[in-house]
Amino acid sequence: MKTSTCFLNSCCAAAVMGLSATNLSAADLEFYFPVGVNAPAVDTIQALTDTWAAQNPQHTVKAVYAGNYEETTTKALTAANAGQPPQVAVLLSIDLFTLIEEDVVVPISDIANTPEDKEWIDGFYDGFMKDAEFEGKTYAIPFQRSTPVYYYNKDAFRAAGLDPEAPPTTWDEMIEMGKALTVKDGNGNVSQWGTRIPTLGLGGAWLFGGLVVSKGDVLTTETGIEARMDTPATVASLEFLLELSEQGVMAPGGISWGDTPKAFLEGQTASMWTSTGNLAFVEENATFDWGVGFLPGGDGPGAPIGGGNFYIFSDTTDEEREAALDFIKFMTSPENAATWSIATGYVAPRADAWETPEMKAYSERLPQALVALDQLQYAEREFATFQRAKVTQHLVDAIESVVTGNAEPAEALRAAQEGADAVLDDYK
């Protein structure tokens, strides 16, 4: 009943518009999206979706909040396997190989093939496009992209006699300054740690990728079949994580991703490594003066790129694909990318978004937001291969076993490499 009303509406609308619209054919879109940050993301997405629907009365779109990234991917794949995929979804950039292997997405460059479309695709930052491409085709369009940055409590820096405008830039400085920032209470228990780098789970593995990049190596390549877990850079990175707790700068044991922003806001730690996606949350809740810097690096700056991209599913009609592409163009338009970036802290993926008046006012009010953009040139793709979840688990196990004191870095990483190779050998 509802569909037919919509259809009638769209017919009337088309008639009223004197058939001037380019998209005459109607499409009903379903759009799955995840939320991975502490921000009122659902409301913003819904508002943007409603605006697109109002501007395109011949189409309908249903925005479905599908949980966190992993749940959204599972739901989208299950729906696709059942023959009822969403037409468009925001999924992790690192799910690219899984989606290709399951044969459920269509390259966006196959749909967006006019010269204007190519120009549009070229407008996205290269750093965000690297992990959206495979075998010469563009499969995804960047939307909610982020890199981790170093958040620090300027008041704590002042209290420790450190320059609040000069956050650490190297690992050595991190340890040195971290010692000054660590505060103990009367009983000898630490009440404020120097820093906090989440080491558990996928968040831990993501940040670990940044450590490795700063040592001049990468965990993965664009082929999707290479895992470089046992290299001098990975061993050095894991040893550094261990050293942070051995030197008393970071709490021993595994550190969870989810608790980290809370611990920072509560003053349990003077600094933290977390996603720019937490900028809005920290801005809203911090009761102290805080700043953001590049991730301190081993041999130089380095960071992983993460976050989600738009994908279009393959089991769709031409009309649906066209409508989905139009929807993606709308969502990533300069104004809307700016709205989304300001609401969440995600890095707006196009240079023209940063030129909008809203974005200029935002970066003036919150200069911290510019740090991630500047850091982008030193950032590399996040760990991704075919069978990503299975392969990454080996890396996660290696990091967790070392930080919890159950294994040595070199030995754990060798085991991880063997496990990863055993999975990826099928693809070589």
Partner 1 sequence: MNKRLPFGLAMVLLFIPCLLLGAFTHYPAFRALQNSFWNNSSSRRPSKFVGVENYQTLLQDDRLAQIMLNSTLYALGTIPLAIGLAIGMALLVNARLPGTSLMRLSFFMPTMLPMIAVANIWLFFYAPGIGLASQILGVFGLPPINFLGSTETSLISMMFVAVWKEAGLFMIFYLAALQAVPENLKDAARLEGASATRIFFNIVLPLLRPTTIFVAVNALINAFRLVDHVIVMTRGGPNNSSALLLYYIYEVTFSQRDFAYGATLTVLMVCLLGVLAAVQYWVLNRKAHYQ
**Residue ranges in contact with partner 1 by CB under 8 A:** 70, 74, 77, 98, 100-103, 187, 189-190, 200-201, 251-256, 258-259, 262-263, 266, 268, 386-387, 389-390, 393, 396-397, 400-401, 403-406, 426-427
CB of 380 to partner 1, least distance (A): 24
338: CB partners within 8 A, 6+ apart: 348, 353, 354, 356, 358, 359, 362
User: How far apart are CB 359 and partner 1 at their closest, in Å?
Assistant: 34
- Residue holding tokens 């009367």? 186
Question: Would you say 254 and 178 are in contact if contact means Cβ atoms under 8 Å apart?
Answer: no
Burial label, 70 (beta-carbon count in 10 A; 0-12, 13-18, 19+):
middle
Contact criterion met (CB below 8 Å) for 305 and 179: no
The DSSP call for residue 93 is G
Which residues are bridge partners to 309 per DSSP? Answer: 91, 142
Burial of 427 (0-12, 13-18, 19+ CB in 10 A): middle
Residue nearer to partner 1 on the CB measure, 28 or 397: 397
φ, ψ at 386 (rounded to 5°): -60, 150
The least CB distance from residue 389 to partner 1, in Å, is 4
The answer to whether the CB of 320 falls within 8 A of the CB of 27 is yes
- Cα–Cα distances in Å, from 146 out to 76, 344, 396? 22, 10, 20
Nearer to partner 1, 72 or 332 (CB): 72
Using the minimum distance from each CB to partner 1, give the nearer residue, 40 or 201: 201
% helix, strand, coil for the chain, step of 5: 50, 15, 30
- Residue with Cβ nearer partner 1 (369 or 403): 403
CA distance 193 to 369: 25
Say how far apart CA 293 and CA 296 lie, in whole Å.
8
Q: Which is nearer to partner 1, 193 or 378 (CB)?
A: 193
> Which C-beta is closer to partner 1: that of 208 or that of 346?
208
Q: Position of tokens 């003036």? A: 364
Which lies closer to partner 1 via its Cβ, residue 255 or residue 324?
255
User: Smallest distance from the beta carbon of 192 to partner 1, in angstroms?
Assistant: 9
| 106 versus 376: smaller Cβ distance to partner 1 | 106
- Least separation in angstroms between residue 253's CB and partner 1 is 4
- Closest distance between partner 1 and the C-beta of residue 101, in Å? 5
Give SS3 for 184.
strand
- Work out how close the CB of 274 gets to partner 1 at its nearest, in angstroms, rounded to a whole number: 15
User: What three-state secondary structure class fits 233?
Assistant: helix
Residue 130 Cβ vs partner 1, minimum distance, rounded to whole Å:
21
Q: Least distance to partner 1 from the beta carbon of 393, Å?
A: 7
158: left (phi over 0), alpha (psi -120 to 50) or beta: alpha
The residue (of 199 and 356) whose beta carbon lies closer to partner 1 is 199
Give the 3-state secondary structure of 145-164. EECEEEEEEHHHHHHCCCCC
